[in-house]
Structure 1
């Protein structure tokens, strides 16, 4: 699809969404304020005092158009001014007491309308909607989209299993036995969890999951007993659209820092030679390849590798 056709799709979505959230109505939430007026009031409620120039830049509004908006709000007694602390030529804007009283029901009405929009949706539908919104913002304004690492919440480990199964099947041809292995690793993490020595991080951008990693106590493959002083990095995952953000390095480094703080002497991990991007991240963190062998795992001929980081 070429750019012109894609632009038509974006415009069609814009028409749908502006209609769906009531942007075509003459006033917002039945308040008597137009959408631009309401947006200015919101900014002054949350970010004041601010100069008209900064307001124009932040809202990407033409200075002349913004000046007319401000004059109208001033005429209604909704704005107040104060001197700039370091530039006597500038005046800073804020809401007056009347402005705060006028904005409060507008804000409540907008909140109620948004809650009504979400109310008919199931929890998965809400998560999908919020994730899509977060992804749009991150693509169009990547500098404004902060990524948070947080502990897993209910549903996160199920997501981790599902995404491992789907991504590794699509990209490497691994069969359902790999997804089953990931499910067992997640179950073991819950059953054996020691918060002083083990952790899992879910990378979030708004409401969207972008990736994850685990650090656990390493155990003997034969006996299942802990290996003293040895941790294991497990289940590093990045959504395909989240690659190239430095997030994989951040997740791996998070594991290294936690392992040092927990008193481990080494961190080990298992991977495959075909995972070249992950191998580069491990090498950059200081991991060294210790062992490799050909194997037939998960329906594919692979080269299995063990890497180790000395702390």
Structure 2
């Protein structure tokens, strides 16, 4: 059976057994879509309309209809934000909190009933398999978007990148340089469920031999996504960006403590070179020629 056939079969099996096909999801009196919006608002302690739209992949009209249905039940309130009146916030009412807790209880009971016939060993196998499947499906549906470094997702990703390096480098990490990219630089963020999960950029760099060269910078992958192939995908994407910018090769530097990153670069065909910059944190330097016919 092919991967797509297996996935479709699983979808049919799972949706039938968790109540998705019913007009009243889990007997709540609400369909699945409205229940999911209620869950997102409740689990986040309140959020914004834009965040809900990005996280759930809904268009504005569909989300507006779902919110109106929940408002009609007295479960949510939408209002302008305290700090920015242009931002619409969503929070649960007291009745909404009770409905959210009821939804959580019903969902937990349905899940427990599904796995109750399984042995402990089978449950462990299922938990591992579902966690792996969840990660890979989300990795397959990540969107890669070009952004300015001042974009909120880029700022968040950069902050996590800096915090991770600061924790891993023996002497900490204190980056310098401007917040805005150099002329010709391009930055890319990977988004899943409205959140940044990977980030990186390519900037032009002048080396002594005059070959048009792009430098890969700020490569970061969320720790929870390690092992899903997202780092390799981001690297291939940045290489394609470099091609489109007219570069004939890419270079990058890294710290010796980042062994998983070094392994990624080596598997991707990068070869060691001599130091080409004065970055005090860099201990290993790599390059890769760019084939004009290659695509990510």
TM superposition score category, shorter chain reference: 0.3 to 0.5
- After TM superposition, the score normalised by the length of structure 1 is 0.45
More strand, by proportion: 1
